[in-house]
C-alpha cells in the first residue's frame, strides 16, 4: 500500500543535503547527463506535480525525468487541486501521500511547501517558491562544473534582484565553497536570514556596483527584473535596475573563460542583451537541459533509494 512509506527526506532548500551528499548528487546527475546511468529506480512509482505557478522547464523536465527513471508523473494545476479552492494544504498532503511516492510543488509561499512537508509522508521537492529555487541552483552548479570544472574556489557574480534565485545562490556558496558577489540595487536585497548566514560564512559579498561584482568572475548570472506576481512593479523596477543590465562591456570585466547563466525565461534588452544571451559565453541552453539531469538525481535519491 502506498501509505506505508518508509522514513523519507525532503528537498526544500540547498542545505537539506550535506555538502558531501550534494557533490554526490552532482556526480550522479553528470552520469545521467553523459548517458552512463541507465537504472530505473522509479519503476512503479508516481510523482504528483502541483503547479500553483505556471512553468515550461520545471514541468517538462520533471515529467520527462520521472518517465526516464521508470515512473509516472501527474500534473496538477490550481484547477486540478482543491488548494485553489481552500482545502488546507495539510489535508491535500495527507491525501496525496496515499496515492504517490513523491510530491513536487511550484508555488508562491515557502510556508506552503513546509506545511506540505510536515504532513506528507513522502518526499517533497521544492520546484520553486518565492523564497528559494534549489533545483535551479543545483542545475546551475552542474553547468558550471560541466564547463569550468570543480565549482569549489570559483567566483560567481549575481547581477540584479535579490530574489529566490539569489537566496539559493547565497545558500549554495556557503555550502559548496565558492565565492558569490551579489550586485543588487538598494531596496532589492536578498532575504535577510539567507543574507546574514551568507555574509557570516565569508563566501558572500553584497555590493551595489555590478562592475565590481563582475570583475574577474568565472560566472556571471542574472534573472528577470520582475518575477511572476510582480508585473505591476515593472516600471518601478525598470528604473531601479537600469544600471544592472548584463551587456558585453560588463561580461568583458569577467575572467576570459567566464560563462553566462540565466534560469530563463529571459527578456532580451532588459536584464541581459541579446548579444550576451545568444553569444559565445552563454551556456543557458545547457543550463536548461541540466534541470532534467539534476532533478533526476534528486528523485533517484529521495524516491528511488539511490545511494549518495
Same fold, 14-133+291-303 and 135-287: yes
Could you tell me the residue ranges of all domains in the chain?
14-133+291-303, 135-287
Q: How confident is the model at residue 1 (pLDDT cuts 50, 70, 90)?
A: very low
Choice among 140, 184, 245, 263 that is catalytic: 263
Q: Where does 14-133+291-303 sit in CATH, by number?
A: 3.40.50.1370
- Model pTM score: 0.96
Q: How confident is the model at residue 151 (pLDDT cuts 50, 70, 90)?
A: very high
For the residues 77-89, what does the mean pLDDT come to?
77
Residues 6+ apart with CB under 8 A from 226: 233, 234, 237
C-alpha cell recorded at residue 31: 552520469
The pLDDT score that the predictor gives to residue 127 is 98
The per-residue pLDDT of the chain, averaged, comes to: 95
Query: What residue ranges in the chain does DSSP mark as E strands?
Result: 46-51, 72-76, 102-106, 124-128, 155-159, 179-183, 204-207, 219-222, 259-262
CA angle 295, 117, 41 (to 5 degrees): 35
Q: Has 237 been annotated as catalytic?
A: no
Q: Has 31 been annotated as catalytic?
A: no
The pLDDT score that the predictor gives to residue 231 is 73
Evaluate the omega torsion of the peptide bond into residue 75 and state whether it is cis, within 30 degrees of 0: no
Q: Has 257 been annotated as catalytic?
A: no
**Tens digit of pLDDT for each residue in 13-51?**
999 999 999 999 999 999 999 999 999 999 999 999 999
Q: How confident is the model at residue 194 (pLDDT cuts 50, 70, 90)?
A: very high
For the residues 276-289, what does the mean pLDDT come to?
98
Choice among 33, 133, 175, 293 that is catalytic: 133
Q: Has 101 been annotated as catalytic?
A: no
Going by the annotation, the residues of the binding site for L-ornithine are: 164, 223, 227-228
C-alpha cell recorded at residue 173: 556558496
Q: What percent of the chain has pLDDT over 70?
A: 96
Going by the annotation, the residues of the binding site for carbamoyl phosphate are: 55-58, 82, 106, 133-136, 263-264, 291
Choice among 101, 106, 237, 293 that is catalytic: 106
Q: Where does 135-287 sit in CATH, by number?
A: 3.40.50.1370
Choice among 112, 136, 293, 295 that is catalytic: 136
Q: Has 196 been annotated as catalytic?
A: no
The pLDDT score that the predictor gives to residue 74 is 96
pLDDT > 60? residue 259: yes
pLDDT > 60? residue 69: yes
Choice among 112, 130, 140, 223 that is catalytic: 223
Q: Has 133 been annotated as catalytic?
A: yes
In the three-class reduction of DSSP (H, G, I as helix; E, B as strand; rest coil), residue 49 is classed as: strand
Amino acid at each position: 500500500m502506498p501509505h506505508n512509506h518508509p522514513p523519507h527526506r525532503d528537498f526544500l532548500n540547498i542545505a537539506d543535503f550535506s555538502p558531501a551528499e550534494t557533490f554526490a548528487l552532482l556526480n550522479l546527475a553528470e552520469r545521467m547527463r553523459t548517458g552512463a546511468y541507465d537504472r530505473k529506480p522509479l519503476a512503479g512509482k508516481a510523482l504528483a506535480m502541483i503547479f500553483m505557478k505556471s512553468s515550461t522547464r520545471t514541468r517538462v523536465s520533471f515529467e520527462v525525468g520521472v518517465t526516464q527513471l521508470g515512473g509516472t508523473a501527474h500534473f496538477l494545476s490550481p484547477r486540478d487541486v482543491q488548494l485553489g479552492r481552500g482545502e488546507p494544504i495539510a489535508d491535500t498532503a495527507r491525501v496525496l501521500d496515499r496515492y504517490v511516492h513523491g510530491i513536487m510543488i511550484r508555488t508562491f509561499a515557502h510556508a506552503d511547501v513546509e506545511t506540505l512537508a510536515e504532513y506528507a509522508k513522502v518526499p517533497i521537492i521544492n520546484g520553486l517558491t518565492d523564497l528559494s529555487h534549489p533545483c535551479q541552483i543545483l542545475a546551475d552548479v552542474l553547468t558550471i562544473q560541466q564547463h569550468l570544472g570543480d565549482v569549489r574556489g570559483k567566483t560567481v557574480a549575481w547581477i540584479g534582484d535579490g530574489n529566490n534565485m539569489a537566496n539559493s545562490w547565497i545558500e549554495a556558496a556557503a555550502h559548496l565553497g565558492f565565492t558569490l558577489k551579489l550586485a543588487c540595487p538598494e531596496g532589492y536585497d536578498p532575504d535577510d536570514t539567507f543574507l546574514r548566514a551568507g555574509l557570516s560564512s565569508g563566501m558572500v559579498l553584497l555590493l551595489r556596483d555590478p562592475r565590481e561584482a563582475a570583475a574577474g568572475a568565472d560566472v556571471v548570472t542574472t534573472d528577470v527584473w520582475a518575477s511572476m506576481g510582480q508585473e505591476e512593479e515593472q516600471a518601478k523596477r525598470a528604473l531601479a535596475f537600469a544600471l544592472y543590465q548584463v551587456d558585453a562591456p560588463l561580461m568583458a570585466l569577467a575572467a576570459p573563460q567566464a560563462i553566462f547563466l540565466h534560469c530563463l525565461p529571459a527578456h532580451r534588452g532588459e536584464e541581459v542583451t541579446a548579444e550576451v544571451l545568444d553569444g559565445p559565453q552563454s551556456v543557458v541552453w545547457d543550463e536548461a537541459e541540466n534541470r532534467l539531469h539534476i532533478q533526476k538525481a534528486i528523485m533517484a535519491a529521495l524516491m528511488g533509494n539511490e545511494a549518495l
